[in-house]
A and B are shown apart, each in its own frame.
Chain A
Amino acid sequence: MTGVVIQFLSTIGRLFLTFLGAIGGLTLFTASAVVNSVTPPFYFRLIARQMIVVGYYSLPVVGLTALFTGMVLALQIYTGSSRFNAEGAVATIVVIGITRELGPVLAGLMVAGRVGAAMAAEIGTMRVTEQIDALTTLSTNPFKYLVAPRLIAATLMLPILVLVADIIGVFGGYVVSTQKLGFNPATYLKNTFEFLETIDVTSGLVKAAAFGFIIALMGCYSGYNSKVGAQGVGSATTNAVVTASILILASNYLITELFFAR
C-alpha cells in the first residue's frame, strides 16, 4: 500500500517537474527570441520573405473566413434582434463584433493552422536533419537567422491581415443585409460608421499583433525542440497549432479585459 502511494506521489512529482521544465524552457526561449529580434544584425531579406509567407499567402484563407463570418453574423443578429424589433442595430453589432473579436481571433486561429504549423514543420525538419547545427558551425546564430525573422514578420503582418479581414467581414455583412434582408445600403453604411469608435479597431489590431507573436513563437519553439524522426516533427507541428490556439484564446480574454473592463 505504501509503495503504491509513493509511486503515485513520485508520478505527480515527475509530471510537475516536467511541467516546470517546459515553462522554464519556453521562458528562456522567449527571452532569447525577443532579444535576438530587437538587436542587430537583422536579416531583412529573410524578414521580407516571411512577411510574404505570413501576410500575402494567408490573405485568401483569412479573407474567405472573414467574408463568411460577416455574412453569418448579419444573418444571425438580424434573426435574433427582430424578436424585439432591434433590427436597426445589425450594422453596428456586425462592425463591432468583427473589429473587436471575430476578425482578430478567427484570423489568428486560421494563421496558426496555416503558418504556425508550417514554421514548426520547417524548423523541426531542419533540427532533425542537423541543418540547425550546420548553421551554428557556419558562425550563424539560429535564433537570429530562423526565429527572429518569423517573429518580426508575424507580429507586423497579423495586424495588416486583420485590418483586411475587418473590411471584408463588414463587407460580407453589408452584402447579406442589403441584398437579402432588405436594408437600405446608405442607412446600413451610416449605421456601420456612426457608432464605430477608434478603440474598436485599435484593440483588434493590438490583439492581432499579440496573436502574430504567439503564432510565430510557438511555431519556432515547437520546431526548434522537435524530437528526432517523422513522428517528432509531426508532434511538433500539432503542438505548435494546439498551444498557439489556446494561447490566442486565453490572451484574447486578457487583452479584452485590459481594453474594456470597467
Chain B
Amino acid sequence: MSETPKVSFQDVHISFGANRVLQGFNLDIHPRESVVIIGGSGTGKSVTLKCLLGLLLPQRGSIRIDGEEIVGTHGRSRTRALAKFGMLFQSAALFDSLPVWENVAFGLIQGKGRSRDEAKKIALEKLGQVGLGDDVADLNPAELSGGMKKRVGLARAIATDPEIMLFDEPTTGLDPIMGDVIDQLISKCVKEIGATAISITHDMASARRIADRMAMLYKGQIIWAGAVSEIDDSGNALVDQFIHGRAEGPIQMEIRTP
C-alpha cells in the first residue's frame, strides 16, 4: 500500500523509571482499516493509546497522523489532532455529573461549539445508533448497567464523526452476549462513519470479530502483524501461545511459586 498511513508509529520508546514499556514500537495503520493490538496485561497496550492521544509523551520516536508529527505538539496543532479522535474507554469514563445525553453531546458542545439544543438532537440520534432509546437520555451514568455504559461511551465516541476511533478493551467486564453486541456495534459504527479503528484487547473472540488486521505487542515491540485470517498460521510461537491462552510456552508469567 503506497498511500500515507492514517496513523504511523515509528521507533516509539517510553519508560517509567526503570520500567521500559515501549521499546521501539513500530506500526502503520491505513485509512478505514480496523487494527486490533493484542497482548498480555502490562505489555503497554494502553500506554500506546495514551501516547497517540498525547496523554503521555514518548522519550523517543515519532507518531504521525496523516503524515503530520504529533509528538510534543501543543496548542492549536494538538487540538486539531485531538479533534480527529473518538475514544471508548475501558470503564466508559462517563462524566458522573452530567446526564447521559450531555455525556454524548459533550464533544459537540465543548469541542465543536454546537448549541445545546442542536447537540442534544444529535446525541439522541447517536444513542439510537447504539440501540438506546430517548428514555435513557436524562438518566445519570450511575443508573446504567455496564453494557449500557459501554454503549453510551460508544455513542459519545462517534458523536463528532471522528476520523480515528480508539477502543480500549471494549468488551472487558461484559458477559459474552453483551460483548458480542458491543463488537457488532463497534463494527457497524466504524463502517458507517468511515473511520480508522485502533482497538486494544486481550479478548481474542472480540479481536477476531472487529479486526481487519491484528498486531501482537510483546516486551514493548510489535512481534507480529497480519490479517485476521493469518493469525492461526502465524508461525510465531509467542502468538500461538497467546491466541490459544496456554500457560506453557515461551511467554512466562511472573508468578511466584510457594
Residues of A within 8 A of B (CB): 125-126, 129-131, 133-134, 136-140, 145
Contacts and interface: CB of A to CB of B under 8 A. Distances in A.
A216 B163 CA distance: 37
B220 interface: no
Contacts of A131: 93-96
Nearest to A137: B87
A131 B83 CA distance: 17
A137 B82 contact: yes
Interface in B180-212: none
Contacts of B106: 138, 140
B93 A134 contact: yes
A134 B87 contact: yes
Nearest to A144: B110
B93 A130 contact: yes
Contacts of B53: 133, 136-137
Contacts of A133: 50, 53, 55, 89, 93
Interface string B168-185: 000000000000000000
A137 B91 CA distance: 15
B110 A136 contact: no
Contacts of A136: 53-55, 82
B67 interface: no
B44 interface: no
Interface of B: 50, 53-55, 79, 82-83, 85-87, 89-91, 93-96, 106-107, 110-111, 156, 166
B110 A145 contact: yes
A12 to B, nearest CB: 20
Nearest to A128: B91
B110 A134 contact: no
A139 B110 contact: yes
B250 to A, nearest CB: 31
Give 5 nearest A-B pairs by CB, closest first: A139-B111, A134-B93, A130-B93, A138-B107, A137-B87
Contacts of A140: 106, 110-111
Given A129-B93, A145-B110, 7 more contacts: A131-B93, A133-B53, A133-B55, A134-B89, A136-B54, A138-B106, A139-B107
B110 to A, nearest CB: 5
Contacts of B82: 136-137, 139
A43 to B, nearest CB: 9
Nearest to A125: B96
A130 B168 CA distance: 11
10 contacts: A125-B96, A126-B96, A131-B94, A133-B89, A133-B93, A134-B87, A138-B111, A138-B156, A140-B106, A140-B110
A134 B111 contact: no
A136 B82 CA distance: 8
Given A139-B79, A139-B111, A140-B110, A134 B85 contact: no
Nearest to B159: A138
A139 B54 CA distance: 12
Contacts of B54: 136
A134 B111 CA distance: 12
A130 B90 CA distance: 9
A130 B91 contact: yes
Contacts of A139: 79, 82-83, 107, 110-111
B200 to A, nearest CB: 14
A258 B223 CA distance: 65
A145 B89 CA distance: 20
